[in-house]
Structure 1
Amino acid sequence: MTLLYNIGIAAYSGLIRLASSFNKKARQLCFGRKITAQILPKIKLEGKVIWIHAASLGEFEQGRPIIEKLKERHPQYKIVLTFFSPSGYEVRKNFELADFVLYLPADTKRNARQFIDAIHPDKVFFIKYEFWYHFLTELASRQIPVYGVSVIFRKEQSFFKFYGSWFRKMLSAFNKFYVQDDVSGELLKNIGFTNYSVAGDTRFDRVRDIAMESKDFEIVRQFVGDSQKVIVAGSSWAPDEDILIDYIQNVNKEVKLIIAPHEIHKEHIRQIESKLQVPYFKYTEAESASTEARVLIINTIGMLSAIYKYGQVAYIGGGFGVGIHNTLEAATYGMPVLFGPNFRKFKEARDLIDLGGGFTIQSGTEFKERMEEFWSDPLALAESSEKAGEYVNKMCGATSLIMKEVFG
């Protein structure tokens, strides 16, 4: 099986090199791995080294609370942060709390030895889904502690199949798994692994901290005014905006809408403007809020996580496309979240629906019906808001548990 794995890794690496001539991400990965290979021999780290590996940007957000707490409590520790995907590395390659940010080399026995020789980690954290055979085997042979953070298992994974003995060798390299839910824990226990804690997802700690430290935006506050019927739409795409704009143009003037699109380039903002037939203004072009406006377009980045606090209901974009964006940033403020039908691969969205703090809609008609229910029944709105807030609060604490057990 190891031979087949090695062939698969070699084949994948070859395909990436071939694709690099016409695919941007493949080109970034090849170039990034070359840079990592050049940097490794020059790395000189003194003192204790913590290696944190995340596949991409989403997993980085789960590892980030660990890094932040480490730097807060143990500033002398050195942090090596690695990514598999360009979508993570290219965004966070200058992350200020890491001493080195690198691409993870291809998972070969030689690469694993060279990489670990170069950084000499004292402890290693693999985030969520990452399982690389040679890296894990090499770490285990050197008795370097490895921890899985915010891990979530599914019964469809090879670890839990009748042919999964080789894959389970990778699980044996972990000192402990901090899993997101009871299902993951039960799956591990059923194949003989009891070294786990149901800790939840470290992202909840992150979004709570962001909410507690969120900035105030005077123009947004002025726009909201005394209104108790404000919808904040985050990371919206065109299909989401069609629903939202049709609604706001056919509902009474008490309701206001804040749109923070996923794409803020001028062409997309112009598309939104062309559809609006009610008074609106763009955030970057206003010195103060328009008293007549019904819609505020957030045409800049970095504000969304703080803007949710100005609303009573959140709409999360992407559900009519590849998948919804971050629901937790809104739910942490204690507000119900609505989103389109493509949500099932996101555990927090499924959980919010089960608890009554999240709602999926299939059409503009369903969106209108749900909003009418909220505005006409303040108790229903309050109950859904409470459920969303309770869910986030209940799921917080994973970072503290990990820090306590791993670092004392």
Structure 2
Amino acid sequence: ERLGRCKRRRSRRPCVWIHGVSVGEIRSAASLVSELERELPGYEVVLSTTTGTGQEVARRLYGGRRVFYFPIDFSWSVRRVFEAIRPSLVILVELEIWPNFLQEAQRRRVPVVLVNGRITEKSYRGYRLVRGWLFDPIGKIGTFCVQTERYAERFRRLGIPAQSIHVTGSVKYDELEPEEVAPGAVREELGLDAGETVLMGGSTHPGEERLLHAAYRQLRAEHPRLRLVLVPRHTERADEVAGALERAGERVVRRTDQRALDGDGRLPQGTVLLVDTVGELGRLYAAADLVFVGGSLIPHGGQNMLEPVMHGKPTLFGPHVQNFREPVERLLAARGARQVSDGSELARALGELLASPDEAAALGRRGRGALLAARGATARTVRIIKDFLAARGERLPEPSSADGALAAGPADPQVGA
């Protein structure tokens, strides 16, 4: 598929092609898919991703819809996929610029819209060097729906016309309603006892497991019922993480092996649970009492801290969160999360929260409240998309009154092709 070997879309309906690079982008598009299908009921929605993990999550989350790999940016592979999918509109989630792809869309007069757009300072400096090529004043991307005024200003400096840029907020906030799942049921599924205190490290990166484990070992002396659950960002690191823990004297149980334990999956006392599966983390956060979100104690840029906060969990992260600058600022202003500078401060902050359950609970409530107050970007984004299409002369269908668009049946018999 990445070389353009994509099966032809059979439906004759107009088509919206949504592209998200990986898991985060494709998850954040869920509210957008639902709203588009309600507001543009005559359109078929198809989705592409770049990464394999993104494919896996997209196929599960968007069952009944066409999901495929985004083509490598060769002119001939891009052309093949455009011929197969025949999109009426392309929507890029956040920002991913592929010159041949955008050139082909422009050649075919297929409008391109950026949604949930953001551009880091590093990316801005890089794009500025080639703005005459990628950021043509007439724009290969027709409309920019961006998360913050800071991002809007960067796009304006790149030569994008101000009238093409709209500050909508982040659609991620609209996707943050946790699954209807009882924390007790998730704890039972993980083999955790009701009386345990669960410290979960989500989306951890190399080096962070060691720091979190050191904090856990230090705190366990005062809190013997503390349980460590680690969820590495990349499951292929499971052997590496398990080996390091075992060399440190821990007994490790992998999520994929749980059902073989004593016939019921119950975790033995004192073991560390290593989650080596894909796509479960958002739901598993419900089982936690304290959460550290990785990619933040190392210079990576952070991982999604919004999911545990929306579960009402007291959530901590490190200083390197530039990929989530706006939500971090929002959470810290509301005193709805804690930011630590290093492993020592992480251990200290965790100890304070363990010693004060009331403050930990209040931290979780404040964080959740701050995120709930930020919702509404999806509806704003879809209104802008409809106005953009109408200005191009598109005849738009009346919105559907049916609820539950995400549960709709397949629009194309080649689902998943």
Q: By how many angstroms is 1:317 displaced?
A: 3.1
How many residues in Structure 1 have an aligned counterpart in Structure 2?
369
Q: By how many angstroms is 1:71 displaced?
A: 5.2
Q: By how many angstroms is 1:218 displaced?
A: 5.3
| CA deviations over 1:65-93 (Å, ceiling 9, x no partner) | 32344457767643332334556457657
Could you say which residue in structure 2 is the equivalent of 1:195? 164
Q: Is 2:79 the counterpart of 1:106?
A: no
Which of the residues 263, 277, 281 maps onto 1:304?
281
Could you say which residue in structure 2 is the equivalent of 1:373? 352
Q: Structure 1 residues 92 and 386, CA, compared in 2 at 3 Å: closer, same or farther?
A: closer
| CA deviations over 1:258-298 (Å, ceiling 9, x no partner) | 403324856744653564679999754263757x9366625
Cα distance in 2 for partners of 1:278, 1:113 equals 52
The answer to whether the 8 A contact 2:94-2:114 is kept is yes
Greater RCO between the two (CA within 8 Å, min separation 6)? 2
Secondary structure of 2:10's partner? coil
Cα distance in 2 for partners of 1:170, 1:85 equals 31
Q: Structure 1 residues 405 and 214, CA, compared in 2 at 3 Å: closer, same or farther?
A: farther
The answer to whether the 8 A contact 2:298-2:320 is kept is yes
| More displaced 10-residue stretch of structure 1: 151-160 or 330-339 | 151-160
Cα distance in 2 for partners of 1:189, 1:299 equals 43
Greater helix content: 1
Could you say which residue in structure 2 is the equivalent of 1:25? none
Q: By how many angstroms is 1:201 displaced?
A: 2.5
For residues 323-402 of structure 1, the aligned pairs below 5 Å read: 323=300, 324-347=302-325, 348-349=327-328, 351-353=330-332, 355-378=334-357, 380-402=359-381
Which of the residues 4, 10, 19 maps onto 1:53?
19
Cα distance in 2 for partners of 1:267, 1:141 equals 47
The answer to whether the 8 A contact 2:231-2:281 is kept is no
Secondary structure of 2:113's partner? strand
Secondary structure of 1:245's partner? helix
Q: Is 2:218 the counterpart of 1:247?
A: yes
Q: Structure 1 residues 147 and 241, CA, compared in 2 at 3 Å: closer, same or farther?
A: same
Could you say which residue in structure 2 is the equivalent of 1:39? 6
Cα distance in 1 for partners of 2:109, 2:332 equals 43
Could you say which residue in structure 1 is the equivalent of 2:294? 317
Secondary structure of 2:141's partner? coil
Cα distance in 2 for partners of 1:245, 1:224 equals 18
Cα distance in 2 for partners of 1:217, 1:360 equals 27
Could you say which residue in structure 2 is the equivalent of 1:5? none
For residues 145-156 of structure 1, the aligned pairs below 5 Å read: 145-154=111-120
Q: By how many angstroms is 1:49 displaced?
A: 1.0
Q: By how many angstroms is 1:405 displaced?
A: 4.2
Give 1:316's aligned amino acid: V
Cα distance in 2 for partners of 1:349, 1:339 equals 9
- CA RMSD across the alignment: 4.0
Give 1:101's aligned amino acid: F
Q: Is 2:44 the counterpart of 1:78?
A: yes
Cα distance in 2 for partners of 1:181, 1:73 equals 24
Indicate the percent of aligned positions where both proteins have the same amino acid. 18
Q: Structure 1 residues 330 and 402, CA, compared in 2 at 3 Å: closer, same or farther?
A: same
The answer to whether the 8 A contact 2:353-2:360 is kept is yes
Could you say which residue in structure 2 is the equivalent of 1:204? 173
For residues 213-292 of structure 1, the aligned pairs below 5 Å read: 216-217=185-186, 219=188, 223=192, 225=194, 230-236=198-204, 238-253=209-224, 256-262=226-232, 263=235, 265=238, 268-269=241-242, 271-272=244-245, 275=248, 283-284=258-259, 285=261, 287=264
Secondary structure of 1:307's partner? helix
Q: By how many angstroms is 1:152 displaced?
A: 0.6
Give 1:193's aligned amino acid: A
Runs of 5+ unmatched residues, structure 1: 1-31
TM-score scaled by length of structure 1: 0.73
Cα distance in 1 for partners of 2:83, 2:251 equals 63
The answer to whether the 8 A contact 2:22-2:53 is kept is yes
Q: By how many angstroms is 1:238 displaced?
A: 3.3
Secondary structure of 1:395's partner? coil
Q: By how many angstroms is 1:343 displaced?
A: 3.2
Secondary structure of 2:116's partner? strand
Secondary structure of 2:163's partner? coil
The answer to whether the 8 A contact 1:151-1:179 is kept is yes
Cα distance in 2 for partners of 1:257, 1:393 equals 30
The answer to whether the 8 A contact 1:67-1:97 is kept is no
The answer to whether the 8 A contact 2:220-2:226 is kept is no
| CA deviations over 1:360-392 (Å, ceiling 9, x no partner) | 434443223212332444564344323321332
Secondary structure of 1:247's partner? helix
Secondary structure of 1:39's partner? coil
Give 1:251's aligned amino acid: E
The answer to whether the 8 A contact 1:147-1:174 is kept is yes
Q: By how many angstroms is 1:314 displaced?
A: 0.9
